[in-house]
Structure 1
């Protein structure tokens, strides 16, 4: 079997290092490129240097050099960086696995347009457990459609720059879609002062930032006399890495198209 040639964006970051390590440990994958932003002190160094496992792949800021041997790019960076990578990958037929969060409508539209030129797996959370949780939320929302208030609470480390998390927003979208609502209309993202009684059709969000929390998400379905909570808690980013590699394998026989983790896991 020919190994899949995968490049990693943000290779010197926390998630990037986890991906480099996971790819290096897989029998059917090979690290074929590593990217980082211009000015990064990691440029020109081996992508596995900080892990004590040299890969022979140097970290580059130039896309042509960093992606010269790659057939796939896994990207967990920032929207502005991912969109630059997206344009290059679409033009050169490089498949993408995008775990970046915080895209606006225009960014999401750009991803959808690029998927007409290359295969893309785009999901706010690559964890297998999180995506199974999404399916459970879909099932729960059908049963708790009346008489239950819905609140989503998420917690992440102090360095996360967007809020609510992409995963929390996706959970809200899944629930809203199941209930026939538009999250843009029913989502409540802040409460302060005299807010009045809760709109029963709303979906509330609460955000916690602190320490080194990898990612906790809880959805409450609060009724009169009972409360159901569905939670997922991450203790390591390795779950995101393994999900990303599973996504790369899924794209192996795809030339174009936009997919998500439901497609990868067969949860449709």
Structure 2
């Protein structure tokens, strides 16, 4: 049976459960017991409690002992990525990952794993950003001779610039041969804003996405997990899993 079509809850394993995204995933999944059952939560360090709110917790070194699962949602660090990818491959389970900073070798391993399991890796799991990416690609193809600028704003603690999402949008625009220019702003507690601007003679188009709550990323990852479960092996994009 395709887990995505089953009436039973999807069995989730959360990897990187002690982080901000991991905590959001645990909270939001618990609010949808008809859709998700979290069978385990994995943290880098030994957990202070073995069971929290009914969810068994495991240290990373204990991962081989986790119960059966349908999908892993991984928001961790590059140091822990290889082991969770290997576990998914061994068990034939799907992987949803938002872990950033992967090396070229890890990305190669990810590509190879997609021949055995369904997986999606993204720098941003917002469903709105997925739609924005598709619109950017379509606009770039229609307006290949126009100037294209991507302006992104984030909180003052964000170090990388341009953001990973801005670069993903830029890649979408560049598929049509458009030359992309970037601008970055770091101010206050801005969660994330991205504007893709196409400017021609006498007219301009702006495509804008504003995030006001970080829960959108966890919700998007849960949506992707539900749609990814039961699909054939392959590397999917968030935009492939919107329907």
Output the TM-score relative to the length of structure 2. 0.86
**Alpha-carbon RMSD:** 2.3
Q: Does 1:263 align with 2:240?
A: yes
Contact 2:133–2:172 under 8 Å retained in 1: yes
Structure 1 residues 154-204: Cα deviation after superposition (integer angstroms, max 9, x where no partner): 223344454332211111111111x1x3xxxxxxxxxxxxxxxxxxx5311
The correspondence for 1:9, drawn from 11, 15, 19, is 15
The correspondence for 1:230, drawn from 207, 214, 222, is 207
> Residue 193 of structure 2 corresponds to which residue in structure 1?
216
Q: Does 1:206 align with 2:183?
A: yes
Distance change (3 Å), C-alpha of 1:226 and 1:105: farther
> Residue 48 of structure 2 corresponds to which residue in structure 1?
44
> Residue 139 of structure 2 corresponds to which residue in structure 1?
140
- Map 1:14-33; keep pairs closer than 5 Å: 14-26=20-32, 27-33=34-40
> Residue 3 of structure 2 corresponds to which residue in structure 1?
none
Contact 2:43–2:57 under 8 Å retained in 1: no
Contact 2:97–2:120 under 8 Å retained in 1: yes
Q: Distance in 1 between matches of 2:107 and 2:92?
A: 19
Q: Distance in 2 between matches of 1:59 and 1:124?
A: 26
Distance change (3 Å), C-alpha of 1:155 and 1:83: farther
Contact 1:20–1:47 under 8 Å retained in 2: no
- Map 1:113-262; keep pairs closer than 5 Å: 113-146=112-145, 148-177=146-175, 179=176, 181=177, 202-262=179-239
Structure 1 residues 85-113: Cα deviation after superposition (integer angstroms, max 9, x where no partner): 21232223231101223334433222111
Contact 1:96–1:120 under 8 Å retained in 2: yes
Structure 1 residues 208-232: Cα deviation after superposition (integer angstroms, max 9, x where no partner): 3344322211112123333322110
Contact 1:10–1:36 under 8 Å retained in 2: yes
Distance change (3 Å), C-alpha of 1:134 and 1:31: same
The Cα shift of 1:4 comes to: 1.2
Secondary structure at the aligned position of 1:170 is classed as helix
The count of corresponding residues between Structure 1 and Structure 2 is 236
> Residue 51 of structure 1 corresponds to which residue in structure 2?
none
Contact 2:192–2:210 under 8 Å retained in 1: yes
Structure with greater strand share of residues: 2
Q: Distance in 1 between matches of 2:232 and 2:39?
A: 19
> Residue 81 of structure 1 corresponds to which residue in structure 2?
80
> Residue 4 of structure 2 corresponds to which residue in structure 1?
none
Distance change (3 Å), C-alpha of 1:263 and 1:36: same
Distance change (3 Å), C-alpha of 1:149 and 1:3: same
The Cα shift of 1:23 comes to: 0.9
Deviates more, 1:62-71 or 1:80-89: 62-71
